[in-house]
Amino acid sequence: MITVQKRERSLAIKDRLLARFVIARNHIGKSWRQSLARTHHFYGTHEGQAYLVSVVQAVSDKSRGHVDRIERVTLDLEEIVGIKSGPEVPGQKDLLIKERLLHRFVIARKSLGRNWRQFLAMHDPFFYTKRGVDMMTSVCQAVTARKKSRVDKIEQVTLAMEKVIDANLQQITKNAS
């Protein structure tokens, strides 16, 4: 019999980006839109203004705003404030969040081999459940058939796979010494 532990829910990518946006926006103050337009000419255009409106709407209503627009505005605001957002992967700056996650998923799947689903389920019992199996299937379909899969699902599966890879590497290192 398999017991499933209660999973700790982390914030969705969109929520994390919005939190970072609010911090950067508050750091600049009320003139944050003008600062963005002065620094990045894109925000002086009609399309750039649409990005800003989208992000502001997402702050007040989480169902609004596209995650890639939120990311672009947040990163540009953080750049003005001087906040480092983490390492930049060469060649992936222009990719959407979903594309970057799917790229990481494919690398992790290749690293774990043909039985990646079994490895994942052994390390995280959630992936033995119907929801877990459906989530893995959804992410696979996003890669092979370009079917829709939510960014949060892709992130959850990818992070779980990367944890399995890290655990395996630690075990190999421990056994070697």
For the chain of 177 residues, list the mean pLDDT of each consecutive stretch of 10. Answer: 44 87 92 92 92 93 87 91 71 72 91 92 93 93 82 90 86 74
pLDDT of residue 88: 61
| Cα distances (angstroms) measured from residue 126 to each of 78, 135, 176 | 36, 10, 31
Angle at the Cα of 143 (from 170 to 16), degrees rounded to 5?
Answer: 65
Contacts of 108 (CB under 8 A, 6+ apart): 116, 158, 161, 162, 165
pLDDT of residue 2: 36
Among the listed residues 61, 81, 143, the one whose alpha carbon sits nearest the alpha carbon of residue 108:
143
Separation of alpha carbons 55 and 75, rounded Å: 12
Neighbours of 52 (CB within 10 A): 16
128 neighbors 121 (Cβ within 8 angstroms): yes
pLDDT of residue 172: 75
